[in-house]
Structure 1
Amino acid sequence: MIEKAVSYWQQAGERSKARSAMTEAIVQMRRALDLLSHLPDTPGRQGTETDLQLALGGALIAAKGHAAEETGRAYARARCLCKSLNDTPNLLKALWGEFVHYHVRGETDRSHRIAEDLLDLAGRQNDAAILVAGHRAVGDSWLHRGQLALARAHLERGLAMYDPELQRSLTALFAENARVAMLSFLSLTCGLLGFADQARVQSNDALAEARDSSHPISLAFALSVACRLHFVLDDADMVGRRAEELVALTTEQGFAFFLAMGTAYRGWSLAEAGDAEAGVDLLRRGIEGFQASGAAWTLPFYLAQLAAAEANAARFETGLGQLSDALALTQKLGVRWFEAELHRRRGELMLMARPGAAAEAETEFRHAIAIARQQEAKLWELRSAVNLARLWRDQDKADEARGLLAPVYGWFNEGFDIRDLKESKALLQDLWV
């Protein structure tokens, strides 16, 4: 019966390679697991089940998302089997799966502990391939917790250690190519740190690597993070282009999780282009799909996109409510990379919605600047400084405005074509008049 189970498993692998038909692959793996469940609980049966559960976890990430309950069950079962068998190499893989499951669900304290355990155990075992995964996991975790310098260090270390020969066999386990993922997250990290040119190069490299690999889930991953990067850089046209490709790819491949993200990005870009109602509708559909997968870790970010679309429709109070929800979620989840920008956006909307809200808005801008400085997020610091400097200019405080904005703007040495730096330069020139 083990031989028949393995046959189903092999059929699953061939199906997924031939047509990226993850749904069919998952059906075959479940059949194999069902057959194994009727066999005596021997080490041989447990070893076969371990391999199957790990493979199933990777397939479920593609089909249902990292945060899906079934994805978590597959990796949890694999971890239990590995401990029973004292199978450290596969335990490392199971830990990876549990990290990404809890990370995407927004259980950041739990996922961060797993990531550090993974990196520590991989180091003690001297497992080079899993060490890369460990640095990727810890770097990803620090990024979303708002510790950008730590994130950059781990992601760069993982990239330096990356060996395509060692990693090739693990792509199915990780769902996406590890180099693509690390380059993608490094691009977002560098963008937030204030290195827009480097960020765009890294994002383009991730996309090129994904296309060259002919691996659809890696391309979906790279496109989704590219959308996020260009949203951060306030480039609506590029977000729209990447989102269109992401939606087309994920619709064809049946990647529901990434399709939900692409739908949300399309909605925001439509709202920015002037079609606020269609944009709000797509954003709501994307957020619903994102939540349906069990994901939560970037929900505050998508709520901010929805708030921006509502503001484009002049529904300022609705947008403020969504930003308040996003901030409450940020506190609950501990996903702080977007926290400064949420405060800045709330201050901005207060000025639009409520006459006489200057003092409240100034508090929000100051809070945003303080958070950005703590995180070394120079892009967020600059953007918030522009808002506060404008407010002070309008209050005839030009000297204070210059004193705030000039040092932040002067720090930058690249990315002068992005909107934030153009607006900062124009505002400083105005303040000198």
Structure 2
Amino acid sequence: MPVSLHASLLARLDRLGEARRVAEVASVIGREFDSALLGAALERERECLAPMLERLVESRVLQRRGGPGGEIYRFSHALIQDAALGMLPRERYRALHARVAAIIEERFPASAAAQPQVIAHHRTEAMQPEQAAGWWQRGAQQAMRRGAMEEALVQLRRGIALLQALPEDPAHAQAELDMQLLAGSALLSLRGHSALETGQAYDRARHLAERLPGQPQLRNAMHGQWSHAWMRGHIGLALERAEALLGQAQARESHGGLAIAWSAMGHSQFILGRFPEALESLERGLEYEAKTERDRRYGLALQATVISTRCYSAWARTFMGRLAEARRDLLATLAAAETAAFPFAVANAHYALGRYDYDTGADEACLARLRTTVALCEEHGIEYLAMAAKAIIGLLLGRHGDHAGGLALVREAVAWNRAAEALTFVPNYLGMEAKLTARAGDPWGALDGMSEAFAMMAESGARWESSVLLRQHGEILGRAGRAEAAEAHLRAAVATAEAQQATLFRLHAAIPLAALLARTGRGEAARATLDAALAPLAVAEEPVVLRARAALAVLQPLP
């Protein structure tokens, strides 16, 4: 603050006489304070303190809430509080913070439990780092339970910084390990698996875990490293890390570790396009998870893992044509997430249902579900999931005529994921962008986008939507007038889906292929293509299945 203003405030405080000491102690408590806490800190009865508080109010140093006899006071301006703090010698400043913290802990335990970050602040300013770190952790855990991940992250960073400044010691290492794992969980919700900060938190956690006796929480750190590689598009490395995680869990015969490891295996296999293997692994993960209810230490991290495992298990069923099972499981997952009231789980469950509607052709239901997802994500700062929802919303908007609005949303998702180096899903978003670019009248520009999508997919190994990309490429080639190449790509899309046992993807590819065959005078081949794709979905009533049946009916020869 300007020197002249500072001098004026100091002079104003100096004129208060004995009330100045009251203002100094109050400034340590905070901008707003309770007179009971102030009296305890000053060791004065209320009757002795009241005249000095009255003088501070009359001098406009403090404001009293609730009129005469009120118990809550507030500094009239933050600059006045700063000036009062600045009058304290360093040792007295630290001693007062320690005293205020101790009084709150001992005499006002409900307040300490409700606002642990207040105790953390006082212990930090008192130069009591070990005690402060514990309270920062409590504050972060409380914030995470409320879904306030950014607030939690700020508190965890403060606690970690204090611990890292202390001498090396197993107790300090264990405390930091706990906080790094919590930070990884918060970062996963906020920035996503791929963020550099997320990877650094889990790398540091593994380093600490491996140096501690018994290697506590090593599996949690290894799982975090796996998720980081998985989302950054290093799918081969992710599979290796999942296998290492599984080996570690099997060696320890840990149900909790096996739940996490099989989930990691399933996620990796899913992104590689190995859907039956993925489903088996994901189901084994859920079986072990059901046995670990009393064995959990990191509830929020495991909630995130379980919700993702359930969603990917349902998507694997969806792609394999087991639609009724998938929808049932997704609705149950949403109900469980809403009961738990964990924002990340609720948003993820809404997205999973929206993705199901997208894959089964229920465009309006998908848009409604994903708009809910985006609203939840924006409220709670879950950016990467919001981008996944926006990409699909954009594609559907473009499909229904809003090419400019749809492209803007898809490109926002591409740009965000590139910036975050979350490259696993970028090929799929590029395919969406290419499809809308072609619809907007630029098939040649769209083909350039498809080339980049295939190159990224080959580099990462994320082949789960290779059939979808081949189909989109074929449709774009058809718009460009290259019928022969279009047919080749559509046939490749069908063959790829068959190899992956992705019944739903096969149907999606069979519809445009049958249309192309019919246009070129090969009605019998068109009917055979659609009939074969529909056969495994005989009892399904999803919109894409109904459209395919209608198309087949049109292709039936006249009696």
Task: Report TM bin, short chain.
Answer: over 0.9
Shift of 1:223: 2.6
| In structure 1, distance between residues paired with 2:546 and 2:261 | 35
TM-superposed deviation, 1:139: 0.8
Q: Following the alignment from structure 2 to structure 1, what is the Cα–Cα distance between the partners of residues 497 and 234?
A: 23
- Contact kept? 1:66, 1:100, Cα under 8 Å: yes
Question: Please, which of 132, 137, 140 is the counterpart of residue 9 of structure 1?
Answer: 137
CA distance in 2, matches of 1:17, 1:388: 50
Give the match for residue 289 of structure 2: 162
Give the match's secondary structure for 1:343. Answer: helix
CA deviation string 1:308-331 (max 9, x = no partner): 322332332232222222111111
SS state of the match for residue 297, structure 1?
A: coil
Match of 1:148? 275
- 1:331 corresponds in structure 2 to 458
Q: Does the alignment pair 1:402 with 2:527?
A: yes
Q: Greater CA radius of gyration, 1 or 2?
A: 2
Which runs of structure 2 are paired with 1:194-209 in the superposition (5 Å)? 194-209=321-336
| Deviation of the 1:205 alpha carbon | 1.8
Q: Distance in 1 between matches of 2:383 and 2:429?
A: 16
Deviation at 1:222, TM superposition (A): 2.0
Q: Which of 318, 323, 341 matches 2:445?
A: 318
Return the alpha-carbon distance in structure 2 between the equivalents of residues 167 and 323 of structure 1.
47
Q: What residue identity is the alignment partner of 2:396? A: S
Shift of 1:89: 4.1
1:31-81: CA deviation from partner (whole Å, max 9, x where unpaired): 111111121111221111111111110011112111100100010111111
Return the offset for 1:299.
Answer: 1.1
Distance across 2 between alignment mates of 1:226 and 1:322: 28
Could you tell me whether the CA contact under 8 Å between 1:195 and 1:414 is conserved in 2?
A: no
Report the identity percentage. 29
Equivalent residue for 2:517? 392
3-state SS in 2 of match to 1:203: helix
Kindly indicate whether the alpha-carbon contact (under 8 Å) linking 1:180 and 1:209 is maintained by their aligned counterparts in 2.
no
Deviation, 1:421, is 4.7
Corresponding residue to 1:102 among 229, 232, 249: 229
Give the counterpart of 1:418 among 543, 550, 557.
Answer: 543
Give yes or no for the alignment of 1:29 onto 2:144: no
Residues 56 and 159 of structure 1, relative CA distance in 2, 3 Å threshold:
same
Instruction: Extract unaligned runs of 5+ from structure 1.
Output: none
What secondary structure is seen at the aligned counterpart in 2 of 1:250? helix
Superposition map of 1:17-416 within 5 A: 17-18=145-146, 20-163=147-290, 165-166=293-294, 169-174=297-302, 176-354=303-481, 357-416=482-541
For 2:298, what is the secondary structure of its paired residue?
Answer: helix
Contact 1:386 1:424 in 2 (8 A): no
Alpha-carbon distance in 2 for matches of 1:103, 1:170: 21
Whether the aligned pair in 2 keeps the contact of 1:53 and 1:78 (CA below 8 Å) is: yes
Q: Does the CA contact (< 8 Å) of 1:343 and 1:367 recur in 2?
A: yes
Q: By how many angstroms is 1:429 displaced?
A: 4.9
For residue 3 of structure 2, what is the aligned residue in structure 1?
Answer: none
Instruction: Identify the structure with the greater helix proportion.
Output: 1
Pair 1:113–1:196, CA change in 2 (3 A): same
Shift of 1:86: 4.3
Give, in whole Å, the separation in 2 of the partners of 1:167 and 1:348: 51
Cα RMSD for the two superposed structures: 1.9
Residues 154 and 52 of structure 1, relative CA distance in 2, 3 Å threshold = same
Contact kept in structure 2, 1:13 and 1:25, CA below 8 Å: yes
Q: How has the CA–CA distance of structure 1 residues 403 and 268 changed in structure 2, closer, same or farther, with 3 Å as cutoff? A: closer
Greater shift, 392-401 or 336-345, is seen at 392-401
CA distance in 2, matches of 1:263, 1:341: 18
Using the TM superposition, give the Cα deviation of residue 83 of structure 1 relative to its aligned residue in structure 2, in angstroms: 1.2
- Letter aligned with residue 260 of structure 2: A
Q: How many residues align?
A: 429
Separation of aligned partners in 2, 1:358 and 1:124: 56
Matched residue of 1:280: which SS?
helix
User: Structure 2 CA distance, aligned partners of 1:112 and 1:386?
Assistant: 34
Cα drift, residue 368 of structure 1: 1.3
Cα separation, 2, equivalents of 1:393 and 1:125: 59
**For the structure 1 residues 169 and 182, does the alpha-carbon distance in structure 2 shift closer, same or farther, using more than 3 Å as the test?**
same
- Using the alignment, how far apart are the partners of 1:263 and 1:372 within structure 2? 26
Q: CA shift at 1:167, angstroms?
A: 6.7
